[in-house]
Amino acid sequence: SFVSSMPEIATHLQEHVGPDFVLSPDKGAIERASHVAKAIGCNFSYLEKTRIDAHTIEHKAKDLDVDGAIVAIVDDMISTGGTICKASDALRRQGAKAVHAACTHGLFTGGAITRLSNHVDGVHATDSLPNPRSVVSGAPAIARGVKDLIQRVL
């Protein structure tokens, strides 16, 4: 059974950030962005990722309607924060007023917190891993998963 903390992340973002737009950092995570945007009641999209070479990825924002908007970038995991920083830069070039990053698993390796603080207005993560940005409880998602499992077994 698949368990997701995106409902809790959506609630947290709605209560503490008030995003006008939700963005997935790539097409592969569009389902997460869609779920969060639907729960909040706003539009969503994704950034196009193009690999230039073995070490370079270009993030291209389609012409998104984010001028003056508060944007939340949602992903399952943030490790180094590089993708989020590039996405944030692309959003700001299109006029985003504020950019927040939210994830289920905040690894935050290699100076990620410092890097992110230079590019986004806020970082929001669940407590699935101990980290300085754990502001969303993952317990309700785990409880849903356990309940679903028990119902299937019985």
Cβ contact 14:21 at 8 Å: no
Q: Report the amino acid identity of residue 4.
A: S
Model pLDDT, residue 61: 64
Give the whole-angstrom CA distance, residue 41 versus residue 35. Answer: 10
* Domain boundaries of the chain, sorted by first residue: 6-153
Query: Each residue of 12-47: pLDDT tens digit?
Result: 999 999 999 999 988 888 999 999 999 999 999 998
Say if residues 126 and 136 touch (Cβ distance below 8 Å).
yes
Catalytic residues: 49
**Residue reference for tokens 């940005």:** 133
Region 100-116: what's the mean pLDDT?
A: 95
* 30 within 8 A of 43, measured Cβ to Cβ: no
The pLDDT of residue 3 is 82
Topology of domain 6-153 in CATH is Rossmann fold (3.40.50)
For the chain, how big is the Rg over CA atoms in Å?
16
Structure tokens at 13: 């973002």
Q: Say what the pTM is.
A: 0.88
pLDDT tens figures, 41-73: 999 999 887 777 777 777 666 778 999 999 999
Per-residue burial over 79-102, b if 16 or more Cβ lie within 10 Å, else e, is: bebbbbbbbbebbbeeebebbbbb
